Copies of this chain bind each other. A is one copy, B any other.
Amino acid sequence: MQDPCQAREVLGIVGDKWALLIVRMLKDGPRRFTELKRAIDGISQRMLTATLRDLERDGILTRTVHNVMPPHVSYELTPMGRTLREATAPLLEWSITHLAHIDAARAAYGNR
């Protein structure tokens, strides 16, 4: 690995909280907009739209519109997106397994 600082801009996108969760949601195949919105607890419609746009622009996922009414739009990982999913999986798992440790550390820090 050479200069990791070159990766700063990329990290600003793939390191994004919402982007990580969206990529994870798509691991088992395409998902619809509303499906993602319901599954990713706490994301606002605005942020979901914006993050999906960014990920589409960067070639992480594809957006497919089926011209029916009511609208049907599905999102799916590209091959590059699937490699990203593999790269982010350890961080996701780490976050979940260390939730309690972080809470404990934070409580201890507050009581100093």
A interface, CB within 8 angstroms of B: 1-8, 10-17, 20-21, 24, 40-42, 56-59, 80, 83-84, 86-88, 90-96, 98-99, 101-102, 104-106, 108-109
Contacts and interface: CB of A to CB of B under 8 A. Distances in A.
Q: What is the copy number of this chain in the assembly?
A: 2
A77 B87 CA distance: 22
Contacts of A20: 11, 15
A6 B96 contact: yes
Contact of A88 (B80, B91, B105): B91
Q: Would you list the 4 A-B pairs with minimal beta carbon distance, nearest first? A: A59-B105, A87-B94, A7-B95, A5-B41
Nearest to A24: B4
Given A2-B96, A4-B24, A80-B98, 6 more contacts: A6-B99, A8-B17, A8-B41, A8-B42, A11-B92, A84-B98
Given A87-B90, A87-B91, A90-B87, A101 B7 contact: no
A57 B107 CA distance: 9
